[in-house]
């Protein structure tokens, strides 16, 4: 079975993936590592030196990112519930 995960990386030590390894174990998963390797390889190619160097985030930074995303989904859920209650 194939799954698609969206990986987000930022030059300021932030990164996120949607896979269970990242979300439940809070580790830099294989998707995140592959994305960082690819971006840093692209950075070494001609005319791509403007791309920022991406560093692997620490486990603490990953935990913070997971916490932020959980609050974001809770906020989104409450907002949708509020809109639903107003409409009905
Ligand atoms: Zn992943």
Q: Residue 16: pLDDT band by 50, 70, 90 thresholds?
A: confident
Q: For 34-49, b where at least 16 C-beta lie within 10 A, e where not — what string?
A: ebbeebeeeeeeeeee
pLDDT at 13: 65
Q: How many helices (H) and strands (E) does the chain have?
A: 3, 2
Task: Measure 3 CA to ligand 1 centroid, in angstroms.
Answer: 10
**Protein residues placing their CB within 5 Å of the ion ligand 1:** 17, 19, 22, 29, 31
Q: What pTM did the predictor assign? A: 0.64
Task: Measure 30 CA to ligand 1 centroid, in angstroms.
Answer: 6
Please, are residues 22 and 34 in contact by the beta-carbon 8 Å criterion? no
User: Phi, psi (5° rounding) for residue 6?
Assistant: -95, 125
pLDDT at 23 over 90: no
Between CA 32 and CA 4 the distance in angstroms is 13
The average confidence (pLDDT) of the chain is 85
Reported as a single tens digit per residue, the pLDDT across 26-71 is: 888 999 999 999 988 999 999 998 888 888 888 888 888 788 877 8
């Amino acid at each position: 079975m194939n799954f698609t995960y969206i990986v987000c990386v930022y030059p300021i030590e932030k990164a996120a993936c949607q896979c269970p390894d990242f979300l439940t174990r809070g580790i830099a998963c294989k998707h995140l590592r592959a994305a960082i390797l690819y971006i840093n390889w692209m950075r070494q190619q001609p005319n791509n030196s403007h791309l920022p160097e991406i560093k692997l985030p620490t486990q603490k930074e990953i935990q913070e990112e997971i916490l932020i995303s959980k609050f974001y989904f809770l906020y989104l859920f409450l907002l949708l519930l509020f809109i639903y209650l107003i409409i009905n």
